[in-house]
Amino acid sequence: MIDRYAVAGNPVEHSRSPTIHQQFAQQTGQHLDYGRLLCPLDGFKATLQAFADHGARGCNVTVPFKFEAFEMAARRTPRAELAQAANTLRFDAPSEGGWLADNTDGVGLVRDITVNAGVALSGQRVLLLGAGGASAGVLGPLIEARPAEIVLANRSFDKAQALVDRHADWAAEHQVRLTARSLDNAGQAYDVFINGTAASLSGGGVPVGPGVLRPGTLALDMMYGPAAQPFLQWARDHHALARDGLGMLVEQAAESFAVWRGIRPDTAPVLASLRAQLDAPLNRTPSP
Protein backbone atom coordinates (compact mmCIF):
# COMPACT_ATOMS: atom_id res chain seq x y z
CA MET A 1 0.00 0.00 0.00
CA ILE A 2 1.28 3.48 -0.88
CA ASP A 3 2.26 5.70 2.09
CA ARG A 4 -0.30 8.48 2.48
CA TYR A 5 0.11 12.01 3.88
CA ALA A 6 -1.95 15.19 3.69
CA VAL A 7 -2.21 18.79 4.79
CA ALA A 8 -4.99 19.03 7.38
CA GLY A 9 -6.73 22.32 8.00
CA ASN A 10 -9.66 24.55 7.24
CA PRO A 11 -9.46 25.85 4.57
CA VAL A 12 -6.97 23.70 2.65
CA GLU A 13 -8.15 23.85 -0.94
CA HIS A 14 -5.58 26.44 -2.01
CA SER A 15 -2.65 24.89 -0.16
CA ARG A 16 0.55 24.45 -2.19
CA SER A 17 1.79 21.66 0.09
CA PRO A 18 0.62 18.75 -2.17
CA THR A 19 2.57 20.18 -5.13
CA ILE A 20 5.66 20.68 -2.99
CA HIS A 21 5.62 17.18 -1.48
CA GLN A 22 4.94 15.51 -4.83
CA GLN A 23 8.03 17.24 -6.21
CA PHE A 24 10.06 16.17 -3.16
CA ALA A 25 8.87 12.55 -3.62
CA GLN A 26 9.85 12.51 -7.30
CA GLN A 27 13.23 14.07 -6.59
CA THR A 28 14.12 11.57 -3.83
CA GLY A 29 12.52 8.50 -5.44
CA GLN A 30 10.08 8.06 -2.56
CA HIS A 31 6.74 6.41 -3.30
CA LEU A 32 3.99 8.35 -1.52
CA ASP A 33 0.71 10.13 -1.97
CA TYR A 34 0.09 13.61 -0.46
CA GLY A 35 -3.37 15.17 -0.52
CA ARG A 36 -5.59 17.66 1.27
CA LEU A 37 -7.69 16.86 4.34
CA LEU A 38 -10.43 19.40 5.00
CA CYS A 39 -11.36 19.12 8.69
CA PRO A 40 -14.60 20.52 10.12
CA LEU A 41 -13.83 23.21 12.69
CA ASP A 42 -15.35 21.02 15.43
CA GLY A 43 -14.08 17.73 13.99
CA PHE A 44 -10.30 17.91 13.67
CA LYS A 45 -9.56 15.02 16.03
CA ALA A 46 -12.11 12.64 14.51
CA THR A 47 -11.05 13.43 10.93
CA LEU A 48 -7.39 12.91 11.73
CA GLN A 49 -7.98 9.69 13.66
CA ALA A 50 -9.98 8.26 10.75
CA PHE A 51 -7.18 9.24 8.34
CA ALA A 52 -4.60 7.49 10.54
CA ASP A 53 -6.83 4.43 11.07
CA HIS A 54 -6.99 4.01 7.30
CA GLY A 55 -3.22 3.61 7.18
CA ALA A 56 -1.95 7.16 6.64
CA ARG A 57 1.59 7.81 7.90
CA GLY A 58 1.40 11.49 8.87
CA CYS A 59 0.21 14.97 8.03
CA ASN A 60 1.01 18.66 8.02
CA VAL A 61 -1.31 20.83 10.05
CA THR A 62 -2.32 24.35 9.15
CA VAL A 63 -4.71 27.05 10.36
CA PRO A 64 -6.46 26.77 12.79
CA PHE A 65 -5.46 23.40 14.22
CA LYS A 66 -1.78 23.69 15.15
CA PHE A 67 -2.49 23.93 18.87
CA GLU A 68 -4.97 21.04 18.78
CA ALA A 69 -2.50 18.88 16.84
CA PHE A 70 0.11 19.48 19.54
CA GLU A 71 -2.37 18.39 22.23
CA MET A 72 -3.26 15.18 20.39
CA ALA A 73 0.23 13.71 20.14
CA ALA A 74 1.69 11.22 22.61
CA ARG A 75 5.21 12.55 22.01
CA ARG A 76 6.52 16.01 21.12
CA THR A 77 9.89 17.21 19.89
CA PRO A 78 11.56 19.91 22.02
CA ARG A 79 10.84 22.57 19.37
CA ALA A 80 7.14 21.64 19.33
CA GLU A 81 7.14 21.70 23.12
CA LEU A 82 8.54 25.24 23.13
CA ALA A 83 5.98 26.38 20.55
CA GLN A 84 3.10 24.38 22.11
CA ALA A 85 1.93 24.09 18.51
CA ALA A 86 2.57 21.47 15.81
CA ASN A 87 2.60 21.72 12.03
CA THR A 88 3.81 18.13 11.52
CA LEU A 89 2.45 14.85 12.86
CA ARG A 90 3.93 11.39 12.32
CA PHE A 91 1.44 8.62 13.03
CA ASP A 92 3.83 6.21 14.73
CA ALA A 93 2.23 3.04 16.12
CA PRO A 94 1.61 2.78 19.90
CA SER A 95 4.40 0.17 20.02
CA GLU A 96 6.75 2.85 18.62
CA GLY A 97 5.65 5.37 21.25
CA GLY A 98 2.57 6.80 19.54
CA TRP A 99 2.03 9.91 17.44
CA LEU A 100 4.93 12.36 17.25
CA ALA A 101 4.27 16.13 17.04
CA ASP A 102 6.90 18.43 15.57
CA ASN A 103 7.06 22.06 14.47
CA THR A 104 9.14 22.81 11.39
CA ASP A 105 7.93 26.39 10.73
CA GLY A 106 10.81 28.00 12.62
CA VAL A 107 13.62 26.00 11.13
CA GLY A 108 12.04 26.68 7.72
CA LEU A 109 11.97 30.43 8.32
CA VAL A 110 15.53 30.58 9.64
CA ARG A 111 16.83 28.53 6.73
CA ASP A 112 15.02 30.75 4.23
CA ILE A 113 16.51 33.88 5.77
CA THR A 114 20.05 32.65 6.29
CA VAL A 115 20.50 30.29 3.32
CA ASN A 116 18.07 31.36 0.59
CA ALA A 117 18.15 35.11 1.26
CA GLY A 118 21.75 35.00 2.51
CA VAL A 119 21.01 37.32 5.45
CA ALA A 120 22.77 36.64 8.75
CA LEU A 121 20.70 36.67 11.94
CA SER A 122 23.56 36.38 14.39
CA GLY A 123 24.09 39.64 16.29
CA GLN A 124 21.19 41.41 14.52
CA ARG A 125 18.15 43.28 15.86
CA VAL A 126 14.95 41.47 14.89
CA LEU A 127 11.31 42.58 15.05
CA LEU A 128 8.75 39.77 14.95
CA LEU A 129 5.11 40.82 14.61
CA GLY A 130 2.31 38.51 15.73
CA ALA A 131 1.73 36.06 18.55
CA GLY A 132 -0.39 33.41 16.84
CA GLY A 133 0.52 29.87 15.77
CA ALA A 134 3.12 30.99 13.25
CA SER A 135 5.05 33.25 15.63
CA ALA A 136 4.85 30.62 18.37
CA GLY A 137 6.48 28.16 15.98
CA VAL A 138 9.30 30.43 14.84
CA LEU A 139 10.36 32.19 18.02
CA GLY A 140 12.42 29.30 19.46
CA PRO A 141 14.47 28.66 16.29
CA LEU A 142 14.91 32.43 15.78
CA ILE A 143 16.43 32.63 19.27
CA GLU A 144 18.70 29.70 18.43
CA ALA A 145 20.10 31.76 15.53
CA ARG A 146 21.46 34.12 18.24
CA PRO A 147 20.42 37.60 17.15
CA ALA A 148 21.39 40.30 19.64
CA GLU A 149 17.75 41.22 20.24
CA ILE A 150 14.23 40.08 19.36
CA VAL A 151 11.25 42.35 19.92
CA LEU A 152 7.93 40.54 19.72
CA ALA A 153 5.05 42.94 19.06
CA ASN A 154 1.40 42.02 18.77
CA ARG A 155 -2.00 43.70 18.52
CA SER A 156 -3.03 41.93 21.74
CA PHE A 157 -0.07 42.75 23.97
CA ASP A 158 -0.92 40.03 26.53
CA LYS A 159 -0.37 37.30 23.96
CA ALA A 160 3.04 38.72 23.05
CA GLN A 161 4.00 38.87 26.71
CA ALA A 162 2.89 35.27 27.29
CA LEU A 163 4.97 34.05 24.36
CA VAL A 164 7.98 36.02 25.57
CA ASP A 165 7.58 34.65 29.11
CA ARG A 166 7.51 31.09 27.80
CA HIS A 167 10.73 31.67 25.84
CA ALA A 168 12.57 33.65 28.53
CA ASP A 169 14.85 30.79 29.63
CA TRP A 170 15.61 29.80 26.06
CA ALA A 171 16.51 33.42 25.23
CA ALA A 172 18.74 33.74 28.31
CA GLU A 173 20.50 30.49 27.42
CA HIS A 174 21.30 31.90 23.97
CA GLN A 175 22.13 35.41 25.27
CA VAL A 176 19.33 37.02 23.27
CA ARG A 177 17.52 40.10 24.62
CA LEU A 178 13.81 39.25 24.23
CA THR A 179 11.00 41.71 24.98
CA ALA A 180 7.28 42.10 24.26
CA ARG A 181 5.84 45.35 22.93
CA SER A 182 2.58 46.73 21.62
CA LEU A 183 2.21 47.55 17.92
CA ASP A 184 2.21 51.31 18.50
CA ASN A 185 5.54 51.09 20.32
CA ALA A 186 7.29 48.54 18.11
CA GLY A 187 10.66 50.34 17.93
CA GLN A 188 12.86 51.69 15.13
CA ALA A 189 15.31 50.70 12.40
CA TYR A 190 15.57 46.92 12.75
CA ASP A 191 17.98 44.78 10.73
CA VAL A 192 15.28 42.14 10.16
CA PHE A 193 11.51 42.65 10.27
CA ILE A 194 9.26 39.57 10.10
CA ASN A 195 5.51 39.98 9.70
CA GLY A 196 3.98 36.86 11.25
CA THR A 197 0.51 38.38 11.60
CA ALA A 198 -2.48 37.47 9.47
CA ALA A 199 -2.83 41.14 8.46
CA SER A 200 -1.83 40.55 4.82
CA LEU A 201 -4.18 37.56 4.61
CA SER A 202 -7.11 39.72 5.67
CA GLY A 203 -6.07 42.74 3.57
CA GLY A 204 -5.38 44.69 6.75
CA GLY A 205 -2.23 46.45 5.49
CA VAL A 206 1.09 46.62 7.33
CA PRO A 207 0.29 46.95 11.05
CA VAL A 208 3.33 49.14 11.91
CA GLY A 209 4.85 52.33 10.47
CA PRO A 210 7.93 52.45 8.21
CA GLY A 211 10.08 53.62 11.13
CA VAL A 212 10.73 49.94 11.91
CA LEU A 213 12.79 49.81 8.69
CA ARG A 214 16.13 51.27 7.68
CA PRO A 215 17.60 51.08 4.17
CA GLY A 216 18.54 47.43 3.58
CA THR A 217 16.39 45.90 6.33
CA LEU A 218 15.19 42.42 5.42
CA ALA A 219 11.38 42.79 5.52
CA LEU A 220 9.72 39.39 5.29
CA ASP A 221 6.00 38.66 5.26
CA MET A 222 5.09 35.03 5.99
CA MET A 223 2.25 35.45 3.49
CA TYR A 224 2.89 34.81 -0.21
CA GLY A 225 1.02 35.17 -3.49
CA PRO A 226 -1.16 38.17 -4.36
CA ALA A 227 -2.07 38.88 -0.72
CA ALA A 228 1.60 39.56 0.09
CA GLN A 229 2.02 42.16 -2.66
CA PRO A 230 0.99 45.29 -0.67
CA PHE A 231 3.54 44.41 2.06
CA LEU A 232 6.29 43.77 -0.49
CA GLN A 233 5.58 47.07 -2.26
CA TRP A 234 5.57 48.93 1.07
CA ALA A 235 8.95 47.41 1.93
CA ARG A 236 10.45 48.34 -1.45
CA ASP A 237 9.03 51.87 -1.19
CA HIS A 238 11.04 52.25 2.02
CA HIS A 239 14.27 50.80 0.58
CA ALA A 240 14.05 47.49 2.43
CA LEU A 241 14.89 44.06 1.02
CA ALA A 242 11.40 42.63 0.44
CA ARG A 243 10.71 38.90 0.82
CA ASP A 244 7.52 36.83 0.95
CA GLY A 245 6.81 33.54 2.77
CA LEU A 246 7.24 31.17 -0.17
CA GLY A 247 10.77 30.15 0.79
CA MET A 248 9.67 29.50 4.37
CA LEU A 249 6.81 27.36 3.05
CA VAL A 250 9.14 25.17 0.98
CA GLU A 251 11.77 24.93 3.72
CA GLN A 252 9.30 23.92 6.45
CA ALA A 253 7.90 21.31 4.04
CA ALA A 254 11.39 19.88 3.43
CA GLU A 255 11.93 19.54 7.16
CA SER A 256 8.56 17.76 7.56
CA PHE A 257 9.49 15.44 4.69
CA ALA A 258 12.72 14.59 6.52
CA VAL A 259 10.79 13.87 9.74
CA TRP A 260 8.58 11.38 7.86
CA ARG A 261 10.98 9.87 5.33
CA GLY A 262 14.45 10.30 6.87
CA ILE A 263 15.72 12.08 3.76
CA ARG A 264 16.05 15.81 3.12
CA PRO A 265 15.08 16.98 -0.37
CA ASP A 266 16.85 19.74 -2.29
CA THR A 267 14.60 22.77 -1.89
CA ALA A 268 16.14 25.08 -4.51
CA PRO A 269 14.50 23.58 -7.65
CA VAL A 270 11.14 23.27 -5.91
CA LEU A 271 11.23 26.88 -4.74
CA ALA A 272 12.21 28.01 -8.25
CA SER A 273 9.33 26.11 -9.85
CA LEU A 274 6.80 27.43 -7.32
CA ARG A 275 8.12 30.96 -7.78
CA ALA A 276 7.62 30.63 -11.54
CA GLN A 277 4.03 29.44 -11.00
CA LEU A 278 3.27 32.29 -8.62
CA ASP A 279 4.74 34.88 -10.93
CA ALA A 280 2.09 33.82 -13.44
CA PRO A 281 -1.18 35.70 -12.76
CA LEU A 282 -3.16 34.26 -9.87
CA ASN A 283 -6.59 35.25 -8.73
CA ARG A 284 -6.76 33.39 -5.49
CA THR A 285 -5.03 33.48 -2.10
CA PRO A 286 -3.07 30.37 -1.09
CA SER A 287 -2.73 29.13 2.47
CA PRO A 288 0.26 27.23 3.89
For ligand NDP, the binding residues (CB under 6 A) are 63, 105, 130-135, 154-156, 159, 196-202, 204, 207, 222-224, 245, 248-249, 252, 287-288
The single-letter code of the amino acid at 100 is: L
Q: How many CB atoms lie within 10 A of CB 200?
A: 26
In the sheet where 58-61 sits, what is the strand order?
Answer: 32-38, 3-9, 58-61, 88-90, 100-102, 75-76
* Of residues 198 and 278, the one with the C-beta less far from ligand NDP: 198
Q: Which of these, 29, 131, 47, lies nearest to 89 by C-alpha position?
A: 47
In the sheet where 125-129 sits, what is the strand order?
Answer: 177-182, 149-154, 125-129, 192-195, 218-221, 241-243
* Of residues 148 and 241, the one with the C-beta less far from ligand NDP: 241
For the chain, the distance separating the N- and C-terminal CA atoms, rounded to the nearest angstrom, is 28
Sign of CA dihedral 159, 125, 220, 271: negative
* Of residues 63 and 278, the one with the C-beta less far from ligand NDP: 63
Secondary structure class of 75 (helix, strand, coil): strand
Residues carrying an active site annotation: 66
Nearest distance from C-beta of residue 106 to ligand NDP, angstroms? 10
